[in-house]
Amino acid sequence: MSHAVQHTLAGSATLEGTSLHTGAKVSLTLTPAPEGHGLKFRRIDLPDKPFISADVEKVQTVERATTLAEGSVKVHTVEHVISALTGMGIDNALIEMDANEPPIGDGSSLPFVQLIRNAGISAQTAPRKVWEIREPMHLETGDGTLITIVPCKTFRISVTNVGPQGRFTQYFSSEITPAIYEKEICAARTFVYYEDVKPLLDKGLIKGGSLESAIVIRGNEVMSKEALRFTNEFARHKALDLIGDLMLAGIRIRGHVIAIKPGHGPNTKMAATLKTEYARMRSMVPAPITIPNGEGVLDIHEVLKILPHRYPFLMVDRIVGFEGDSKCIGVKNVTINEPYFPGHFPGHPIMPGVLQLEAMAQVSSVLMLRKPENIGKIGYFMSADNVKWRRPVLPGDTLVIEGNIIKMRGSIGQTRCRCLVNGEVVSEAELKFALLDR
C-alpha cells in the first residue's frame, strides 16, 4: 500500500465479545470514514449517538487503560483498537460501540487486526500527513519511566519493560510498518501481576478479566491459557499500547520512540507534547497564509537551488505555498541588519521600493522556473508596469510576496504581483520577463 495517501476501510465489520473492566457484552463495528476524518468513536447505545474523537485532549487518567471522555460520555480501554488501526495504516475510521468499552478478546489487538482484514483496506486520494521529528523530545516521571523521541527517517519503537523488583525485564525494538505490526506486534497480549489483581477487583475493575484475556504473572511464573507467543511478549505489548496512545496526538510521526517502563499515563503525556509541538511548528508559517496542498514549503536551501541571486540581493527567505501552476507565495523577513538600511534614510530606515519590485520578480522567477522546460534558465526583466507603492516597509516587517502568472508564451512570461505586510498591500506591479539559458 502507498504510504503517501490516507487510507480507510473498504467496508464495515463487526466484532462481539466481553469488555475487560465492566465484564459487559459489547458489539464493536468498524466503518469507513472520509478523508481528514481521523479516528472517532460513537456510542450507538446512547441517545443522540454521540461521537468522541481519538484525541489526547479527551483523555481521562484511568488506571490500567486509556479512557476518552466528551462531557459525561466515555469510552474506556481504547488503546488496542486505536493501535490496530494505526499499525495497519488506517487514517480514517468510525468505531461504533453499544457499550462504554471495546471487547477485550484475548488481550491483544489481533482480533481488531482480523476485523480490519475482514473489512478490507482502501486507499484515498488526499495526502497523508506525517510529521518528521527534527528535535529530540524527552519525558521522565519520578518512578523510572522514560520516553524519548529522536529523529529517524522511519517510525521506530524500542521498548524496555521492567516489572516490580525488575521481574520480566524484556526488550523489543522494531520499525513499525503494517506488515511488521501484523506479524510481530498485534498478537502480544496484555499482562498483569498477580499482586495487582485483588486491588483492581476491589476497585470494581477487570470484571471481564480471565486467563483467556490476559497473562497473569505470579512471582516468577507465567499463568495463561496458552504459552507465551513471544519470548518478549510483554515488551511487544508495551509497544502495541504505545502505538495506540501516541496516535492520540492526531498525527503520524517519523521518529524513533525509545521507552523504558512505559505506561498509559506517560504515553498519553507524550502524545500531548507531540500535539502541542506539532501545533507550534505549524504556527511558524506566517499569517494570513494557509499553505495549499501543492508542494508546501521551500526553505532557503531549496530557494538557493532555484534562484541565481546571492547576498545581498536575494529577496526571498522562503516559499510558503503554490496554488496550482499559476500562483506562488514567498516570504522575506525584513530585519534592521539589511545592508541597505545604513544608507537608505539612516534615521528613518525603510525598505527601498525597487527592492520590493526585485522580491516580486524573484517570486515570479520561482513560479516560472518550476515548469520542467524552464529548469536551469534565468529570468531577465523586460518591463514593469502599473507599479505602485502604497506604504513604507520597516525593519521587523514580514513581507509576504504573491506572484500570479497572467500569460506565458514560449520564453516570455507576464506576472501580476503584490507585496503585503500583515494582510495589507504595500506594493504591486505587473512584470514581464524573458527566460534565457544561463
List, by residue number, the catalytic residues: 264, 344
Look up residue 214 and give its three cell numbers. Answer: 490476559
Q: How far apart are CA 31 and CA 323, in angstroms?
A: 34
Q: In the chain, what is the straight-line distance between the N-terminal and C-terminal CA atoms, in Å?
A: 42
Cβ 285 vs Cβ 291: under 8 Å: yes
- The reply to whether omega before 288 is within 30° of 0 (cis) is yes
- 165 backbone dihedrals φ, ψ, rounded to 5°: 55, 25
CA nearest to 149, candidates 6, 245, 40, 285:
245
Helix H, strand E, coil C: the string for the chain is CCCCEEEEECCCEEEEEEECCCCCEEEEEEEECCCCCCEEEEECCCCCCCEEECCHHHEEEECCEEEEEECCEEECCCHHHHHHHHHCCCCEEEEEECCCCCECCCCCCHHHHHHHHHHCEEEEEEECCEEECCCCEEEECCCCCEEEEECCCCEEEEEEECCHHHCCCEEEEEECCHHHHHHHHCCCCCEEEHHHHHHHHHCCCCCCCCCCCCEEEECCEEECCCCCCCCCHHHHHHHHHHHHHHHHHCCEEEEEEEEECCCHHHHHHHHHHHHHHHHHHHCCCCCCCCCCCCCCCECHHHHHHHCCCCCCCCCCCEEEEEECCCEEEEEEECCCCCCCCCCCCCCCCCCCHHHHHHHHHHHHHHHHHCCHHHCCEEEEEEEEEEEEECCCCCCCCEEEEEEEEEEEECCEEEEEEEEEECCEEEEEEEEEEEEEEC
In sequence order, the 6+-apart residues with CB closer than 8 A to the CB of 47 are none
In sequence order, the 6+-apart residues with CB closer than 8 A to the CB of 396 are 334, 335, 336
Look up residue 406 and give its three cell numbers. Answer: 497572467
